[in-house]
Each structure stands twice: as structure tokens, then as C-alpha cells.
């Protein structure tokens, strides 16, 4: 069995054997992890979009952010 499936099996076993409190804590940790990953993905996408902007537009965006 490859590592990915072993990991999934370990998580499934933990979730099935946990009590309600442990399960809720697990769900909270996973939720925070997913939020962090989504935020990182959006930051990378924004970086790529900013790289292709002309310098004038980039400067305008920076100035408008500084003003807020």
C-alpha cells in the first residue's frame, strides 16, 4: 500500500475511533488547514497576475493600497 493510502486509512481509523470532542477538534484543525491552503493559493495567483502588469498600473495599485 502506498503512503498516501496508508495516511488516509490512518485518518479514517482515527476519526472512526474518536469521541465527539476529539472529532470536533479534528474537524477544526482540518478546516483551518484548508483555509490556510486556499489563502496561499490566492496569494500565488495574485503574484502571477501582478507580474504581468505594466509598471504604471502596478505603481497605481501600490499607491491606492498605501492610501487605505
* pLDDT (average), residues 43-65: 90
Q: Domain extents for the chain?
A: 3-67
Secondary structure E strands in the chain: none
Residue 1 pLDDT more than 80?
A: no
Q: 13-39: per-residue pLDDT in tens?
A: 999 999 999 999 999 999 999 999 999
d(CA 19, CA 24): 9
Position 67 scores a pLDDT of 86
Cα separation of the two ends of the chain: 53
Q: H or E stretch including 63?
A: helix 55-67
* pLDDT (average), residues 3-10: 93
Task: Say what the pTM is.
Answer: 0.62
* pLDDT (average), residues 2-13: 93
pLDDT averaged over every residue in the chain = 92
| Radius of gyration for the chain, computed over Cα atoms and rounded to the nearest angstrom | 21
Amino acid at each position: 500500500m502506498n503512503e498516501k493510502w496508508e495516511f488516509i486509512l490512518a485518518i479514517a481509523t482515527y476519526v472512526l475511533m474518536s469521541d465527539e470532542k476529539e472529532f470536533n477538534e479534528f474537524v477544526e484543525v482540518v478546516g483551518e488547514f484548508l483555509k490556510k491552503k486556499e489563502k496561499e493559493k490566492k496569494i500565488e495567483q495574485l503574484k502571477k497576475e501582478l507580474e504581468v502588469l505594466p509598471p504604471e498600473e502596478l505603481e497605481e495599485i501600490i499607491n491606492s493600497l498605501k492610501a487605505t
